[in-house]
Amino acid sequence: MNWSDIYWRNTLFFIGTAIATVVLVPWYIWTQGLTWPLVAMFVIGSAGTCLSITAGYHRFLAHRSFHMRPWVKNLFLLFGAGAFQSSAIWWASEHRRHHRFVDTEQDPHNIREGFMHAHIGWMMNKSGPTSRMEFAPDLMADKWIMLQHNYYVPLAIFMGFIVPLGIGFAIGSPMGGLIFGGVARVFFTNHVTFFINSLAHTLGTRPYSDKQTARDSWVMAFLAFGEGYHNYHHVFAADYRNGIRWYQWDPTKWLILSMSWVGMTYRLRRTPPAEILRARLQNEQIRLVHYGMSPETVAALKHRVEEAQARWRQLKEDYRTVKKDVQTRSLDRLARMKADMKVAKLEFHLAWKQWSVYRRALASSPRLAPSYS
């Protein structure tokens, strides 16, 4: 390691917030006790800044996966600064670079260079790319984004430390406010985000693509406000969702969706289900052939699943169209269509189950599984 390569501002900040959290939190609880308002400051502050990063910096600015009213965007820029993860334009540009060059030397936090490099090391090293903005020319045209960039440091200090200190004053504990709403919250939210670059490229499954290291993990999703479905995200980065099933923990998706109900966000982009299924089947097709199944059998099975899904979706769409047309619809026709739809759904589920039986049986084989673990 070369000492002159160390980016001291970041390094001292990361070490400083870590030591301050580890020392000050127990000291404060030991001497002053812990009160509910301080817990609330930590929880609400963490949720607010984390969601500003996940929904604002990440899914909106880096990926443009939905639209947002300008005043809502400015709120995200304001609270995002308080997360101490650099300006939005730098964050979004580096993240786009990560997506484009994932797992290569040009990936700013390439996991192949080690866990610690991907987690935090890349930000403590000056020898990275010279321009941190080259992947975000569209964002440079936005005066508010540039304003946040130009005044990032005072804005971050104000939102990250001065505001919690002020709230602390209001509730009778300025030091408590600074520790729980400021230092400890910054330390926590920073590492939650950093884990996406390190752990989400190390632990979990790869349902949609084995070609890169990003992984899906519900544990990471729980920790990082839905960002843990990282394999899906790397394949379908333009989708505003990371957890696509209703039961998958993705508070960022729920926030964006609920904001659309009141017009704060709009034109939310979703990947069509047929495309998602195709990616998954293609990925698993390679595995099944690798596990020893005949390529012809796998191709026929895959075709059956895709056909069944397409038929079911088409019937659903036809049903909706007929139901809307009050002039021509009849109860008989609707009942018949509904029955066809149910049969098509069953056929799809059956085909998918058959596919899954082979996938699970072969994936659990101890001889074969490790190459894809």
- Judged by beta carbon, residue 41 or residue 214, the one nearer Zn ion is 214
The interface mask with Zn ion, positions 193-232, x = CB under 5 A, is ---------------------x------------------
Nearest in space to 208 (alpha carbons), one of 266, 287, 131, 262? 287
Residue 266 pairs in a beta bridge with 67
Tokens 């058959």 belong to 354
Please report how close the Cβ of residue 44 comes to Zn ion at its closest, in angstroms. 25
Please report how close the Cβ of residue 172 comes to Zn ion at its closest, in angstroms. 41
**Helix 251-261 and helix 36-51, axial crossing angle in degrees, nearest 10:** 80
Round to whole Å and give the CA distance between 81 and 103.
28
Contact in structure between 264 and 280 (CB atoms under 8 Å): no
Quick check: helix, strand or coil at residue 64? Answer: coil
Residue 369 pairs in a beta bridge with none
Please report how close the Cβ of residue 279 comes to Zn ion at its closest, in angstroms. 16
Please report how close the Cβ of residue 95 comes to Zn ion at its closest, in angstroms. 5
- What is the size of the binding site for Zn ion (CB under 5 A)? 1
Burial group, residue 256, by CB count within 10 angstroms (0-12, 13-18, 19+): buried
- Judged by beta carbon, residue 214 or residue 344, the one nearer Zn ion is 214
Please report how close the Cβ of residue 169 comes to Zn ion at its closest, in angstroms. 38
Establish how many alpha carbons lie within 13 A of residue 205's alpha carbon, considering only the half-sphere containing its beta carbon.
Answer: 9
- Judged by beta carbon, residue 91 or residue 348, the one nearer Zn ion is 91
Q: 138-174 as b/e, with b when 16 or more CB fall inside 10 Å? A: ebeebeebeebbeebeebbeebbbebbbebbeebebe
Please report how close the Cβ of residue 185 comes to Zn ion at its closest, in angstroms. 23
Separate counts of helices (H) and strands (E) for the chain: 17, 2
- Judged by beta carbon, residue 139 or residue 214, the one nearer Zn ion is 214
Q: For 104, list phi and psi in degrees, rounded to 5.
A: -115, 175
- Judged by beta carbon, residue 62 or residue 259, the one nearer Zn ion is 62
Closest-by-Cβ residue to Zn ion is 214
- Judged by beta carbon, residue 236 or residue 291, the one nearer Zn ion is 236
Establish how many alpha carbons lie within 13 A of residue 190's alpha carbon, considering only the half-sphere containing its beta carbon.
Answer: 23
- Judged by beta carbon, residue 55 or residue 214, the one nearer Zn ion is 214
Please report how close the Cβ of residue 58 comes to Zn ion at its closest, in angstroms. 6
Where is 231: in which H helix or E strand? helix 230-235
Positions touching Zn ion (CB under 5 A) are: 214
